[in-house]
Structure 1
Amino acid sequence: MFIHLGGEKMIRSSELIAIFDLSIEKTSKISKAFVASATKEHRIEVIGEEESKSLIVTLNKVYYSPISASTLGKRARYLLADQKI
């Protein structure tokens, strides 16, 4: 199954590690260090040209998405519930 992250970007649900509200980047020293490390390793991808609202961590990349973390979370929960059937 796939999760649409915004723009034309989709990822496999099996690659998803975490979905965060973008405010975590401003409030957590650990998240700042994580994003800095991912930037240094060229693993950051900004989706679209709209203002980013969420941070999505996958096995290989970190995405900035214009879709809110709550909306992406609902999509992920829907897919996970569908996989259990």
Structure 2
Amino acid sequence: MFIHLGGEKIIRAAELVAIFDLSIEKSSKISKQFITYANKDKKVEVIGEEESKSLVVTQTKVYYSPISSMTLKKRAHHLLTN
């Protein structure tokens, strides 16, 4: 199964590790460090030109998605429970 993250980006549901609201980036020291390291390793991708609303962590990349974390979580839950 696949999950649409916004724009033209689709990932395999099996690759999904976590979905976070973008506010976690500002409120957590650990998440700031995680994003910093991901940027250094060039494993961060911004999807589309709209304002990002969520962070999607996969096994290989971190995506900034214009779709809210709640919507993405609903999509993932729907796919993983069917």
Provide, for residues 29-66 of structure 1, a one-character-per-residue CA deviation record: whole Å limited to 9, x for no partner.
00000000000000000000000000000000000000
Task: Please report the TM-score for the alignment, with normalisation by the length of structure 2.
Answer: 1.00
How does 1:6-85 map onto structure 2 within 5 Å?
A: 6-82=6-82
Distance 1:36 1:20 in 2: 16
Q: Which amino acid aligns with 1:53?
A: K
The one-letter code of the counterpart of 1:81 is: T
**Moved beyond 6 Å, runs of 4+:** none
The count of residues paired between Structure 1 and Structure 2 equals: 82
Which runs of no fewer than 5 residues in structure 2 stay unpaired?
none
Larger Rg: 1 or 2?
1
What is the letter of the counterpart of residue 54 of structure 1? Answer: S
Report the Cα offset of residue 3 of structure 1. Answer: 0.1
- After TM superposition, the score normalised by the length of structure 1 is 0.96
